[in-house]
Copies of this chain bind each other. A is one copy, B any other.
Amino acid sequence: MEDQVKRNWDQFLELIRKIGGYNEAVALMHWDLRTGAPRKGVELRSETLGMLSTEMFKLSISEEMGNFIEEFSKPEINEQLDQVSRTIVAECKKEYDHNRKIPADKFKEFAVLSAHAQTLWEEAKENSDFVSFEPSLSKLIVLLKEFIGYWGEKDTRYDTLVDQYEPDMTVAKLDAIFSRLRDRLVPLVKKIEASEHKPETAFLDQLFEQEQQEKFGKFILEQMGYDFEAGRLDESVHPFMIGLNPRDVRITTHYLQDDVTSAVFSSLHEGGHALYEQNIDTSLAGTPLATGTSMGIHESQSRLWENMIGRSRAFWERYYVDLQKHFPQQLANVELEDFYRAINRVENSLIRIEADELTYNLHIIIRYEIEKMLFNEGLEVKDLPRVWNEKYEEYLGLTPPNDGVGVLQDVHWSGGDFGYFASYSLGNMYSAQILHTLRKEMPQMDEYIAAGNLAPIKEWLTDKIYRFGKSVTPAELILRVTGEELTPDYLADYLEEKYTEIYKL
């Protein structure tokens, strides 16, 4: 690299790290707001969040940024950069082009509004009071539609939103993938419904002391290889993972006294997200590549740990004895096999985050369809609870008794995150495809798990996926790791095999 190019690059990195610094401050404020910030301070805090987000936004679309991008995009300069540096430039350019189109005051309005809406949502959910949340949600959607106008519609308005979370994914592709998946899963669900070999789950309906749940959750996270010296575990209404920097990756969980499995599997889930972020190569720290390559790939890692490892027979062959030790009164007389079958019961239910691996995809399809309606088909916000309830009746045969366990159950919309939900099912599909390869390359995987030796799995995932962060695209990554493009068949195969055995189909 020429000396002058090197000097410019260092200045460029300084600008990028400054943006990263704002990002860290904003992330800490979000974490704080959701883990115990005092209620009365929220309004002033939201103003501050808006201000910092605006400053970050201004830098990402600054003339200085524009000049650097132009400079490093010149062929004779660009060829002097290594592959990762080129990807950094491309990522900044994408962000620059994307954000340059939004006026700064609109961006600030969005940041303030979404911070405030998240707080209102928490209360609205608590009180099952959709009406108190509706005006904020409406305003967010109006703003997002304006944003789509600024960005330019892709095939449809909703395509523009989907592309944000899963680059190069389209509504047309998703429709095709989801319909293929649906064609294989619906018959499976029907067969399970008709099965006479339903798991017994009554023993799960007991009180499980929170303190013991906390201890067991921490133990499992340690076993997975979550580094508590580079993260921390807290409580929040809705569990989440947030990476402040690659050495400060925090997770939260939510304890239910009458359901020990909820916190266990949400810890495994957020732990999976966190393993991804904690193991990104340090050379990417402070750059826009120090995160997951897409929401779908991120979700594949949470799903892999939560479901494919965390709900496997091998996993509980090793850890059930520990769970029993934490809850002797509740579980001493419950057999491992009964526990394994119970945590894998399939049952149509109301709450997405409590849903089983199989019907989970129906929860996603409902949200995906509603979001399409909101952005492409003129559905009004006031009609959301009705449409939500109708779809739950249609797809899952259930009507929510109130909006707290219905349309208000998820945090996403309060943050303006429309287009995100599809990622969850994409995550399921990616993870099954990755698992297939992992099993091929590590035939003794189940033995490792059953011996509590999870490190080789974490290492394999780090080597194949985690360390690259966002320096490869999701499509490149899945092709490179598995040798194939994304297909829903591995997920369908996995689920058919697993449930055929459990339900003796």
Which of A's residues lie within 8 Å of B, judged by CB? Answer: 17-18, 20-22, 24-25, 28-29, 32, 36-41, 43-45, 47-48, 51-52, 55, 227-232, 244-248, 250, 285-286
Contact = CB atoms under 8 A, between A and B. Distances in A.
Given A38-B231, A229-B38, A230-B38, A48 B32 contact: no
A247 B40 contact: yes
Instruction: Count chain B CB atoms within 10 A of each CB in A55, A246, A248 and give the residue with the most.
Output: A248
A25 B227 CA distance: 26
Contacts of A32: 28, 32
A245 B28 contact: no
Contacts of A17: 47, 51
Contacts of A36: 232
A364 to B, nearest CB: 32
A367 B24 CA distance: 37
Given A28-B28, A29-B28, A32-B32, A44 B232 contact: no
A244 B18 contact: no
A248 B51 contact: no
A247 B41 contact: yes
22 contacts: A21-B47, A22-B52, A24-B45, A24-B48, A25-B48, A25-B52, A28-B32, A32-B32, A37-B248, A38-B228, A38-B229, A38-B231, A38-B247, A40-B229, A40-B248, A41-B230, A41-B245, A41-B248, A43-B247, A45-B245, A45-B248, A48-B245
Interchain residue pairs A-B with the least CB separation, the first 5: A41-B248, A40-B247, A44-B245, A40-B230, A21-B48
A181 to B, nearest CB: 38
A250 B21 CA distance: 24
A51 B18 contact: yes
A30 to B, nearest CB: 11
A319 to B, nearest CB: 25
Contacts of A246: 44
